Homo-oligomer: A and B are copies of this chain.
Amino acid sequence: MTATPAQTADAVELLGLVAQLEHLAFARLAADAAVAPTPQHRLELSRLAAAAVQRRDRVLDRVRELGGEPLVAMALYDGVLDDFDARTEPSTWWERLLTVYVGYGVADDFCRLAAGGLDDTSRALVLEVLDDAAHTDLAVAELDAAGTDTAVSARLALWGRRLVGEALGVVQRLVVQRPGLVRLLDAPAAPDSAAGADAAGAQAEQSAAAEPAQAPVNQSPTKLFGQLTAEHTRRMTRLGLTA
């Protein structure tokens, strides 16, 4: 069963978001590299920035395969994180790391859930791109070290709550403004669901070592925000921080 034109348009709508988020991750990681505390951090963050460019371009290749126009697909999300960035200006290196970890964590989880409604090829690509956990590992290693100090921990826990509130605000606006994303979240199954079980198995295997991707199911707004909040709590717990 092939995707309908409407389903393809929705797929391009989500791929555009993923590409824009990867591009913003590049910009953010490059800026972080410029102010990183050690040369080792500078090298590592620049590598993560370069990897984000490659992930973005893989997603844009898929947009092109589906007959979409990469720049148009990304332009739907111009400024998507401007409010988030303006309201979450970090004041320390750790706050900076936590901002990416939490902010992109929520955005990635949202894309992962919406990916459940994609065709198999697009879904596998999105899940693979989002499962690249290198940046998470860096943030966790650094924040673990910071987290041994109780005062720092308390401040970061507070910062995390602020971040997740703002990140959920971004998701709220996306859900209101982009009906294609809502259709993907609500899709009962992928159009070529015959191969779905295998794909889901492969995904589960792949993501076991990184972020566990939840099985896509019908999403009410309440359920969506519940899932995103649960994932956020899991992430904060991994750092030994109170969500």
Contact = CB atoms under 8 A, between A and B. Distances in A.
Contact of A49 (B50, B60, B75): B50
Interface stretch (A26-34, A165-173, A196-204): A26-34
A23 interface: yes
A31 B42 CA distance: 15
Interface in A30-62: 30-31, 33-34, 39-40, 42-43, 46-47, 49-50, 53-54, 56-57, 60
Contacts of A130: none
Nearest to A57: B47
B57 A30 contact: no
- Total identical chains: 2
A74 interface: yes
A46 B53 contact: yes
Contacts of A74: 39
Given A27-B33, A34-B27, A54 B46 contact: no
A141 interface: no
A71 interface: yes
Contacts of A56: 46
A31 B28 CA distance: 10
A139 to B, nearest CB: 19
A78 to B, nearest CB: 8
Nearest to A26: B46
Nearest to A42: B23
Given A30-B27, A33-B27, A34-B27, A50 B54 contact: yes
- Top 8 nearest A-B pairs (CB, nearest first) are A30-B30, A50-B50, A50-B53, A46-B53, A39-B71, A26-B46, A27-B34, A47-B53
Given A30-B34, A43-B60, A50-B53, 8 more contacts: A27-B33, A27-B34, A30-B30, A39-B71, A39-B78, A40-B71, A43-B71, A49-B50
Interface of A: 23, 26-27, 30-31, 33-34, 39-40, 42-43, 46-47, 49-50, 53-54, 56-57, 60, 70-71, 74-75, 78
